[in-house]
Amino acid sequence: MSEYAIELKGVSYTYGKGTPFMKLAVDHVDLNIRRGIITGIIGHTGSGKSTLLQMMNGLLRPQEGTVLLDGKDVWEKPGKIREIAFRVGLVFQYPEYQLFEETVRKDVSYGPKNMGLSDAEIERRVKEALAFVGIGEELYDASPFDLSGGQKRRVAIAGVIAMEPEVLILDEPAAGLDPRGRAEIFGNIVNYKEKTGRTVIIVSHSMDDMARYAEETAVLCGGRAVMMDETKKVFSAGRETLEKLGLNVPQITLLMEKLAQMGLPVSKDVFTVEEAKRELLPLLKGGQSDA
Amino acid sequence: MLKDITLGQFFPGNSLLHRLDPRTKILCSILLIVAVFLAKSALAYGVLILLTAALIIISQIPAGTVFKALKPLIVIIIITAFFNMFFTGGEEENVLADFRIWFLHPVIRVEGIVSAVKMALRIVLLILQTSVVLTYTTSPIDMTDGIERLLSPLAKIRVPVHTFAMMMSLALRFIPTLIEETDKIISAQKSRGADFSSGNVIRRVKALVPVLIPLLLSSFRRADDLALAMECRCYRGGTGRTRMKIMKMTAKDFLFILFCALFIAVRFLPMISSSALGITGMNFSF
Ligand SMILES: Nc1ncnc2c1ncn2[C@@H]1O[C@H](COP(=O)(O)OP(=O)(O)OP(=O)(O)O)[C@@H](O)[C@H]1O
Ligand SMILES: [Mg+2]
């Protein structure tokens, strides 16, 4: 077993090759996705994140370079590419628009059915997957179209989890949800990772979510991978560097920066609310004793 | 994959043909079609070939691109030419080849070849001219606007011209969106293991259900949103609606129409003199 779940080696992809609308979406990207952790991918709009994801699960064939899954070239046997989709589960942006079955149960079992599993096994996986995303038994026979937006999203994610992929990839899993919905989805994902020990990749525009949930983070800019490191180290690169890449640091870091400017002795390398709390509480107590 | 299908052939540019009023271009296309059908003599065809070449040059569209418009019709052109070659009657002395296959007795005469060439030339000219004058140089939206304005007199006899034009432009507007959406849904279902390329016909049709249902739903959703958005902007059909881009025929439009109309008249001149000159195929003899 190789140390990395997925390795990208000099991968490139150009849309509409040979037409006036040619667009280089991914440009010689080298990335290693570590096994068993949550890796975040961030980048400005159009930086090639979704294209990169589709190459990871065999939907798009890289025009240059190779994608290794567990150390083996994904495109070694092009006839078997469908199996790669089972091993690397990709949840698209706004996956709720892909629901189509009459009941939640049927929709979630679509993937496992395509894998040719037995009915009992399908049933087990459907239950497990729906439990991971917090959909209760009472909704199993409801029409997916009668659910709320957040519930639909979670059913759609369960549809991929039910295939029990070695790597679960989620493209903007929390887009368009309210703060509570976001927290719930990310909570479900973290819980899934903890319980199964499987590899997870998340694409997000939210620096706050990344800082909080991703252990490692890759930064894409104009189709190139410009950074890949522990999340903390990526954000430590500083606001100027990130802004040049069309990104920003988490809100809480901006606040800490302001506080530091005002002369408070706080660290600027704070990226989550929990860390900020740890940093600020003693200060508050200290301030009180001063007064 | 689906994206590779080119819809419409509009080739953006800023040539004289691009700048003409869409109504002018629709009218001129009709005039040129009539001209091609009226052409009889070799001289007439020669003039039309020159005209077509001139139009291609004026349009500033690469000739290769223009000729691509012929590609889907090559088979039809060949079949038409083939039948014309064998099924045109003529003088016995003009027989070039004589086949006897079983009870069939196909004969190639000079007249047949001439008429085959004419027929093929006619189709080629028709396509090239309308492509250059209309489809390559007019955006689909301009085209529907033009059609609406040309047909607007019909509104007097209660033909819902505006409604049809609006439906047409909306449909055109949403075709690329729909294709993009289809692509996305196909990818998403593929990553859930959908298999669109194996099994018998029934299995393949069944495999499309997970694509068609979400597509249908999102089309309805889009239609709903669009209707709402239009109502929010007080859309009430064509009556009393003003336009941001007002179409205006200018001197160059009228001149161009006149120019194209001229070719219909020119048709008759060479017909009279052609037999005297002996240029037409009919007088061709061995
Ligand atoms: N099917 C397609 N055909 C042509 N060009 C495409 C296609 N999909 C994406 N592109 C282009 O490739 C580039 C990268 O797109 P991609 O969807 O990978 O970006 P992204 O990082 O996921 O953006 P976002 O954050 O908006 O989702 C963009 O410039 C986009 O316009
Ligand atoms: Mg994307």
B127 in a domain, yes or no? yes
Does ligand 1 come within 6 angstroms of the Cβ of A238?
A: no
Residue B50 sits in the same domain as residue B90: yes
Res B103: pLDDT: 67
pLDDT category of residue B234 using cuts at 50, 70 and 90: confident
- Residue from the list B191, B210, B217 with its beta carbon closest to the beta carbon of A85: B191
Q: Which helix (H) or strand (E) holds A66?
A: strand A64-69
Instruction: Name which of A162, A183, A163, A185 is nearest A94 in CA terms.
Output: A185
Confidence of residue B7 (pLDDT cuts 50, 70, 90): very low
Same structural domain, B230 and B108: no
Question: Which residues span the domain enclosing B118?
Answer: 1-138+248-271
Interatomic CA distance for residues A91 and A155, integer angstroms: 11
Number of other CB atoms surrounding residue B91 within 10 Å: 11
CA of A51 to the centre of ligand 1 (A): 6
Q: Which chain A residues touch B191 with a CB distance below 8 Å?
A: 57, 59, 85, 89-90, 92, 160
CA distance B165 to B155: 12
Identify which of A85, A87, A161, A95 has the alpha carbon closest to the alpha carbon of residue A129.
A161
At residue A177, the 3 state secondary structure works out as coil
Separation of CA A46 and ligand 2 centre (Å): 7
If asked whether residues B79 and B187 sit together in one domain, one would say no
* Cβ atoms within 10 Å of B227's Cβ, excluding its own: 11
**pLDDT-based confidence at B283, cuts 50/70/90?**
very low
Q: Which ligand is nearest to the CA of A45?
A: 1
Mean pLDDT of B231-253: 83
Residues of B in contact with A163 (CB under 8 A): 192-193
Same domain, B107 and B176: no
- What sign does the CA torsion over A153, A156, A158, A160 have? negative
Could you tell me if B135 and B59 are in contact, meaning their C-beta atoms sit under 8 angstroms apart? no
Is position B277 within any domain? Answer: no
Q: Is B193 on the interface with A (CB under 8 A)?
A: yes
The answer as to whether B151 is a domain residue is no
Residue A126 · residue A105 · CB < 8 Å: yes
Of A54, A111, A115, the CB nearest to B187: A54
Print burial letters for A134-163: b (CB count within 10 Å at least 16), e (below 16). ebeeebeebebeebeebbbbbbbbbbbbbb
Same-domain check for residues B98 and B199: no
- Per-residue pLDDT tens for B155-194? 888 888 888 888 888 888 888 888 889 999 999 999 998 8
pLDDT digits (tens, 9 = 90+) for B29-77: 999 999 998 888 888 888 899 999 999 999 988 888 888 888 888 898 9
pLDDT of residue A288: 54
Q: Given this model, what pLDDT does residue B61 score?
A: 87
Q: Is residue B280 in a domain?
A: no
Q: Are residues B21 and B93 in the same domain?
A: yes
**pTM score:** 0.76
B3 CB within 8 Å of a chain A CB = yes
Count residue pairs from A and B with Cβ separation < 8 A: 51
Burial-class residue B224 by CB neighbours within 10 Å (0-12, 13-18, 19+): exposed
Model confidence pLDDT, tens digit, residues B114-156:
888 888 999 999 999 988 888 889 888 888 889 888 988 888 8
Q: How far, in Å, from the CA of A223 to the mean position of ligand 1?
A: 10
Q: Are residues B125 and B190 in the same domain?
A: no
CB contact under 8 A, B209 and A100: yes
Residue B254 and residue B236 share a domain = no
Tell me what ipTM this predicted complex has.
0.86
B256 domain-assigned? yes
CB half-sphere exposure, B282, CA atoms < 13 A: 10
Nearest chain B residue to A58 by CA distance is B191
From the CA of A100, how many Å to the nearest CA of chain B?
A: 6
User: Do B24 and B59 share a structural domain?
Assistant: yes
* Same-domain pairing of B24 and B57: yes
Beta bridge partners of A224: A221
Domains of chain A: 4-249 (3.40.50.300), 250-285 (no CATH)
CA B235 to chain centre: 32
Q: Which residues of A touch B209 (CB under 8 A)?
A: 100
A204 lines ligand 1 (CB under 6 A): no
Judge: B188–A57 Cβ closer than 8 Å, yes or no.
no
- Is residue B46, in this structure, part of any structural domain at all? yes
Within-domain flag for B202: yes
Same domain, B29 and B71: yes
Distance from CA of A164 to the nearest CA of B (A): 11
